[in-house]
Structure 1
Amino acid sequence: MKSKLYLNRRGVGARSTAPTKQYVVGTLWFEVLYDIVITSMPERYSRDEVREHYMTYANPSTGLLPVDRVYDVIAKLGRPGVKFDEFARFVKNLGMQVDTPTLRVAFNRVDIDQTFTLDLEDVELGITLLLRTVFPKLVLQKIGLSTEQIVRHAAFWLSVLAVIFFFLIMSFMSLVSSRGSPVASSLQ
């Protein structure tokens, strides 16, 4: 539903044959639009660029922008960067098979300013985040390993290595030390 562009101001009291004043309703002048743009957009746009888009939608007779066209001006300016769908397509084109919820978590962790777009550095950070945190978890889930199993396995092999190292140290000590020591005689 569109608002009426003009409201007529009638004289108080009796009807008048004199011309009535008209007030423009539901429109914005450039300064208000520019304030909206700089407060709602992540990037600063030049006044000339905003004015160019403003003039394409402004009413030619009044020079004012209808309120229902503010979104069109903002859409024309656009948001720089990569949106979630483009990020998901990029990850898929890299050959990574990641489900949508996992991608959404990575995207939201990197999108700190909450503009729902990522610049080049954010995309690189998102890929790094996927490679360092998300993919190891996915690999462990596919293999069926839990953190407890990994810790048990690592502790077992560390203890085996410690026994071997202790045996080597003791054998070298027996070779270097004098023949009459009790440790050397017990090892031999």
Structure 2
Amino acid sequence: MKKIISLLLVFSFGLSSCEKDDICDANTPTTPRLVISFYDITAPSTLKNVTNVKVIGKDQPQGIVFNKSGDSITKYLTSASTISVPLKTDEDTVTYSFIFDANNPNPAAINTDVIKFNYTRQNVYVSRACGFKTTFVLNPLSTTTPISTPFEQTDPNNDGLWMQRVIVLQSNVESENETHIKVLF
């Protein structure tokens, strides 16, 4: 009996020295996306939903997926007042085309503005299981002016930029819990 108890004690101590599994918890903050909120130009403190906006990165064939359950067209569209877009973790700039009313059957109603975001990157250690995440610091002087596409600049029927003003509210992109960019339209 004493041998069995001794064996159980040795076995118990042996198990207690095992390390915890290295599994990254799904709630652990990872590399944050850039949070952009849209506001009414006539009432700058009032959030305003966009109309079927599609966001496409430079040299990318598809847009950012906003609606995973949508079909091949609608999954890239959003009519929300706040969106999140990723920044590149291997470069200091990213350029996005913001296509307003992208699903409109009338091509003249579609309006595209382009913004280039410039930033610096920093890799931050999270944990052994999760590894590193990248945080960003936006350069507010170089990300405040959208440009229209070359087609719009030569189209006499186009009324210009749909984004009237772009304001950097928070230069440090460390979480997705706050708005980083405010767009008035």
For normalisation by structure 2, the TM-score amounts to: 0.17
Which structure shows the bigger proportion of residues in strand conformation?
2
* Larger fraction in helix: 1
- Larger relative contact order (C-alpha < 8 A, sep ≥ 6)? 2
Q: TM-score, normalised by structure 1?
A: 0.16
